Chains A and B, each alone.
Chain A
């Protein structure tokens, strides 16, 4: 516990970041809810611990805690939630069940705002629990991102219902992604994106390693920001600068330009991106070449045969 606290001191925002603490006062009674989804895939983090030892999962979570504290410190009505996305399930780091249990963790040792210290302690305890107790079964090494996003949406919906009709609530989701995309989650991902778009929830993406087409589409459709970080050690700086302001304030800032999103579809037979393709009218599967039977729904297609043209009878030439 002490160790974690001292580490947090070391990560206090540097002077260059301090000027980023905006003093905008949002309209009375408007609640801003930020849900951070952190990818804690142990396989990816384990591999990167060897190649880049100065950026570990605990450093990443410290940066997330800094951003969470900043968000809650800006206005009293701001709310925070943190979800960790693991390989086979996802867990709420904050608020968690422990919040209700322990009422004696209130005294903070260094005079920090109580809510912030409780938050940080909870997050640290929960992630320690998760990383030590979760066992990996099966072969899949991909992060369960779509499920975590779905949980985030459920939580946002619950808070919106609890707050009631009188108060406005603005929510956004920030995804911190480490591992690569999983193509099997495409359908679920798209459902989550459309649900978020309907509810006016922004999805921002902060990508640590390789570009993710799914998250690019998510940010484009919902109106959020997508950023691939060039230097992972400066994660806290990027989080505070780019992802902390909410949507109203973003229009006043100069932020990284929107990424070029590739909306081309991938054909079902070769998985290559195509510009012109054939779409089955029954099951909407995409093919790059014409084939008489759809492989997904096994419908036989009607092929338009060219119509027979009757040869015109030539008029016999009259003998001269």
Chain B
């Protein structure tokens, strides 16, 4: 919210006549204009990200959740903590879908202390299970920003240089109880190139503003639950990599998936850590992925081999990250008047109708979905299909 130099707050600015923006349609309802405004802001946000910037594809993200007394507040239904944890589950799913080779860890802070809920790992199930169990934690005491940040930092500083190190804090309390000077910790974070972002649930807190500004993160305060979800989803996309992050060649293995083997070496590999997903359940199974370097078996990818330390991925996981590197070009809007005779959508075989506020029967609406869907449309164009020869450039394309 604040940039340097600090700009004026909203209440310090001029008098805005916000009622002039809204226009009623014939029946007197405002939904159409509201939808239009939301739509335009969404469009602007996505267009803004179409620059050629190097992205941090392998991400190590630590989540810090505030479990202090203020999370018991009922302004998000049923209470802030439950709502936050539920949204986090969706976030973890989306995150691993868009960044399959990244890792996430969760820290909670309450009672002036911070503790780790889950370690940094690339397995979404573990995190989701831990989040489900965390709904019952009592919200007591005050959070401690310093302790949470130093706990995350102790783990992140050992990560290799080519990965992006991030911390995302969800802070609902307006106070924090720190054992030492937090501004020194902020300089340490900055020197170690850790990027901290904060989502506030109550109000803007000055120390968070300074923290995010120094480390290059973003700070937002939510308005309501849907805004909360939107802000969370902003962090799913890989952030631009800092200029000083190292680029290196990472050695990775691409194991084959064996389905049914007749050999009797079916035992699961024995790991040094006590509880991992592959050792729960029956234990023995026929197929799996064998590490090409040490032949240890795993059931799922991507994973880091415990025996030899090789990162194991499969080619579709890397392909999943390509759509961040080659983003879809923005669609061009052209008005219906330019379409002369052939108002026919080539993709879905439907008549194009006039753009009305409520129903937008255009190429976009029938193909409008998550960004994935826009990609599929673009592939049709990229493959050199002339589509509609007559009105190829005049098709009404609103995405």
B275 within 8 A of A: no
B255 within 8 A of A: yes
Whole-angstrom CA separation of A287 from B316 in the bound complex: 16
A144 and B385 contact, CB distance less than 8 A: yes
B253 nearest CB across to chain A (Å):
5
**Interface residue from A157, A185, A266, A284 paired with B383 (Cβ < 8 Å):** A185
Interface centre among A95, A97, A147, A280 (most CB of B within 10 A): A147
Which chain B positions have C-beta within 8 A of A275? 253-256, 292
A21 within 8 A of B: no
Which chain A positions have C-beta within 8 A of B254? 263-265, 274-277
B60 nearest CB across to chain A (Å):
13
Given A157-B348, A276-B254, A284-B325, check contact A88 B385 (CB 8 Å): yes
A108 within 8 A of B: no
Whole-angstrom CA separation of A217 from B386 in the bound complex: 28
B248 within 8 A of A: yes
Which chain A positions have C-beta within 8 A of B320? 190, 194
**Interface residue from A158, A263, A280 paired with B247 (Cβ < 8 Å):** A280
Whole-angstrom CA separation of A188 from B366 in the bound complex: 20
A153 within 8 A of B: yes
Which chain B positions have C-beta within 8 A of A191? 323, 372, 375-376, 379
Q: Which B residue's beta carbon lies closest to that of A86? A: B385
Whole-angstrom CA separation of A290 from B54 in the bound complex: 22
Given A95-B349, A97-B344, A263-B315, check contact A157 B367 (CB 8 Å): yes
A92 within 8 A of B: yes
A133-176 CB contacts (< 8 Å) to partner B? 144, 146-147, 149-151, 153-155, 157-158, 161
**Interface residue from B248, B318, B346, B372 paired with A194 (Cβ < 8 Å):** B372
B150 within 8 A of A: no
**Interface residue from B249, B253, B257, B258 paired with A280 (Cβ < 8 Å):** B249
B310 and A276 contact, CB distance less than 8 A: yes
A77 within 8 A of B: no
**Interface residue from A150, A199, A301 paired with B369 (Cβ < 8 Å):** A199
A154 and B348 contact, CB distance less than 8 A: yes
Residues 247-281 of chain A: 1 if any B CB is under 8 Å from the residue's CB, otherwise 0? 00000000001101111111000000011111111
Which chain A positions have C-beta within 8 A of B315? 263-266
A235 within 8 A of B: no
A265 nearest CB across to chain B (Å):
4
B347 and A155 contact, CB distance less than 8 A: yes
A161 nearest CB across to chain B (Å):
6
A153 and B376 contact, CB distance less than 8 A: yes
Which chain B positions have C-beta within 8 A of A284? 57, 318, 321-322, 325
A49 within 8 A of B: no
Whole-angstrom CA separation of A195 from B314 in the bound complex: 18
Given A195-B372, A277-B254, check contact A282 B383 (CB 8 Å): no
- Residues of B within 8 Å of A, CB-based: how many? 58
Interface centre among B253, B325, B344, B385 (most CB of A within 10 A): B385
Whole-angstrom CA separation of A260 from B386 in the bound complex: 37
**Interface residue from B57, B256, B375, B383 paired with A147 (Cβ < 8 Å):** B383
B58 and A281 contact, CB distance less than 8 A: yes
A82-104 CB contacts (< 8 Å) to partner B? 88-90, 92, 95-97
B316 and A279 contact, CB distance less than 8 A: no
A153 and B318 contact, CB distance less than 8 A: no
A9 within 8 A of B: no
Interface centre among B252, B254, B310, B325 (most CB of A within 10 A): B254
Which chain B positions have C-beta within 8 A of A262? 256
Which chain B positions have C-beta within 8 A of A151? 346-348, 380
A276 and B293 contact, CB distance less than 8 A: yes
B251 nearest CB across to chain A (Å):
6
Q: Which B residue's beta carbon lies closest to that of A282? A: B247
Which chain A positions have C-beta within 8 A of B372? 191, 194-195, 198
Q: Which A residue's beta carbon lies closest to that of B386? A: A89
Which chain B positions have C-beta within 8 A of A16? none
Residues 362-389 of chain B: 1 if any A CB is under 8 Å from the residue's CB, otherwise 0? 0001110110110111011011111000
B38 within 8 A of A: no
Given A191-B375, A283-B325, check contact A154 B380 (CB 8 Å): yes
Interface centre among B256, B320, B380 (most CB of A within 10 A): B380
Whole-angstrom CA separation of A92 from B349 in the bound complex: 8
B54 and A282 contact, CB distance less than 8 A: yes
Which chain B positions have C-beta within 8 A of A277? 251-254
Q: Which A residue's beta carbon lies closest to that of B372? A: A195
Whole-angstrom CA separation of A262 from B259 in the bound complex: 11
Whole-angstrom CA separation of A260 from B367 in the bound complex: 33
Whole-angstrom CA separation of A137 from B319 in the bound complex: 31
A226 nearest CB across to chain B (Å):
13
A107 within 8 A of B: no
Residues 200-228 of chain A: 1 if any B CB is under 8 Å from the residue's CB, otherwise 0? 00000000000000000100010000000
Given contacts A144-B385, A194-B372, A261-B257, 8 further A-B contacts (CB under 8 A): A97-B349, A154-B380, A157-B348, A188-B382, A190-B319, A278-B251, A294-B247, A302-B248
10 smallest beta-carbon distances between A and B, as pairs: A154-B347, A147-B383, A158-B348, A188-B379, A158-B366, A275-B292, A281-B162, A278-B249, A265-B315, A195-B372
Name A residues whose Cβ lies closer than 8 Å to a Cβ of B. Answer: 88-90, 92, 95-97, 144, 146-147, 149-151, 153-155, 157-158, 161, 185-188, 190-195, 198-199, 217, 221, 257-258, 260-266, 274-284, 286-287, 290-291, 294, 299-302, 304
